[in-house]
Amino acid sequence: AMAGDGGGNAEHGGSPAPQRVLFPPTFSVSEIKNKQRRHFMFLRWKQQQRKEKLAAKKKRRKEREALGDRAPPKAIPKTIENQRVYDETTVDPNDEEVAFDEATDEFAPYFNRQTVPKILITTSDRPRGRTVRFCEQLATVIPNSHVYYRRGLALKRIIPQCIARDFTDLIVINEDRKIPNGLVLSHLPDGPTAHFRMSSVRLRKEIKRKGKEPTEHVPEVILNNFTTRLGHSVGRMFASLFPHDPQFIGRQVATFHNQRDYIFFRFHRYIFRSEKRVGIQELGPRFTLKLRSLQKGTFDSKFGEYEWIHKRREMDTSRRKFHL
Amino acid sequence: PPQVVWSMLGNRQFCSYKMTTKTQNFCRNEYNLTGLCNRSSCPLANSQYATIREEKGRCYLYMKTIERAAFPRRLWERVLLNKNYEKALEQIDENLIYWPRFIRHKCKQRFTKITQYLIRIRKLTLKRQRKLVPLRRKIERRERRREEKALIAAQLDNAIEKELLERLKQDTYGDIYNFPIHAFDKALQQQGAESESESDAEREEEEDEDVDTREFVEAEDSELSDFEDMDKLETSSEEEQEEEEEVEKKASHPKSKGKTPLKGPARRKRPYIEIEYEEETEPTTKTKAA
Residues A4-35: tens digit of each pLDDT: 454 445 444 445 555 566 666 667 878 888 99
Q: Is there a domain that residue B67 lies in?
A: yes
Looking at the partner chain, which of A90, A93, A264 has a beta carbon nearest the beta carbon of B156? A264
Task: Kindly report which listed range (A45-54, A82-91, B182-191) carries the lowest average pLDDT score.
Answer: B182-191
pLDDT computed for residue B221 by the predictor: 38
Q: H or E element: which one contains B76?
A: strand B76-80
- Quick one: average pLDDT of B24-32? 90
Question: CB B258 to CB A227 under 8 A?
Answer: yes
Question: CB B151 to CB A232 under 8 A?
Answer: no
pLDDT computed for residue B253 by the predictor: 39
Q: What fold does the segment set A87-316 form as a domain?
A: Rossmann fold (3.40.50)
Question: CB B265 to CB A99 under 8 A?
Answer: yes
Instruction: Identify the band that residue B241 occupies on the pLDDT scale cut at 50, 70 and 90.
Output: very low
Number of domain units in chain B? 1
pLDDT computed for residue B107 by the predictor: 92
Interface subset of B 65-124, CB within 8 angstroms of A: none
B164 chain-A contacts, CB cut-off 8 A:
253, 270, 272, 278, 280
A221 chain-B contacts, CB cut-off 8 A:
272
A153 chain-B contacts, CB cut-off 8 A:
none
B146 chain-A contacts, CB cut-off 8 A:
260, 262
Looking at the partner chain, which of B128, B180, B257 has a beta carbon nearest the beta carbon of A154? B128
Residue pair A276/B165 in contact by the 8 Å Cβ criterion: yes
Residues A262-295: tens digit of each pLDDT: 999 999 998 888 878 888 888 888 999 999 988 8
Instruction: Identify the band that residue B42 occupies on the pLDDT scale cut at 50, 70 and 90.
Output: confident
A246 chain-B contacts, CB cut-off 8 A:
272-273, 276
Asked if residue B231 has pLDDT above 50, the reply is no
Asked if residue A50 has pLDDT above 90, the reply is yes
Residues A55-94: tens digit of each pLDDT: 999 998 888 888 777 777 777 888 888 888 877 777 777 7
pLDDT computed for residue B264 by the predictor: 38
Q: Within 10 Å of residue A252's Cβ, how many Cβ atoms?
A: 23
Residues B90-118: tens digit of each pLDDT: 999 999 999 999 999 999 999 999 999 99
Instruction: Please report, in angstroms and rounded to a whole number, the separation of the first and last CA atoms in chain B.
Output: 120
Question: CB B153 to CB A221 under 8 A?
Answer: no
Question: CB A275 to CB B181 under 8 A?
Answer: yes
Looking at the partner chain, which of B173, B262, B275 has a beta carbon nearest the beta carbon of A248? B173
| Complex-level ipTM beyond the 0.90 threshold | no
- Is the whole-model pTM more than 0.80? no
CA dist., res. B179 & res. B171, Å (int): 12
Asked if residue A147 has pLDDT above 80, the reply is yes
Residue pair A280/A270 in contact by the 8 Å Cβ criterion: yes
CATH of the domain at B14: 3.30.390.110
Distance from CA of B168 to the nearest CA of A (A): 8
B273 chain-A contacts, CB cut-off 8 A:
246
- Comparing B228 with B160, the larger pLDDT belongs to B160
Q: Is there a domain that residue B249 lies in?
A: no
Instruction: Identify the band that residue B4 occupies on the pLDDT scale cut at 50, 70 and 90.
Output: confident
pLDDT computed for residue A300 by the predictor: 64
Q: The domain containing residue B109 runs over which residues?
A: 1-126
Looking at the partner chain, which of A223, A262, A280 has a beta carbon nearest the beta carbon of B150? A262
CA dist., res. A89 & res. B52, Å (int): 64
pLDDT computed for residue B274 by the predictor: 42
Q: Is there a domain that residue B138 lies in?
A: no
Q: What is the mean pLDDT of chain B?
A: 71
Question: CB A272 to CB B179 under 8 A?
Answer: yes
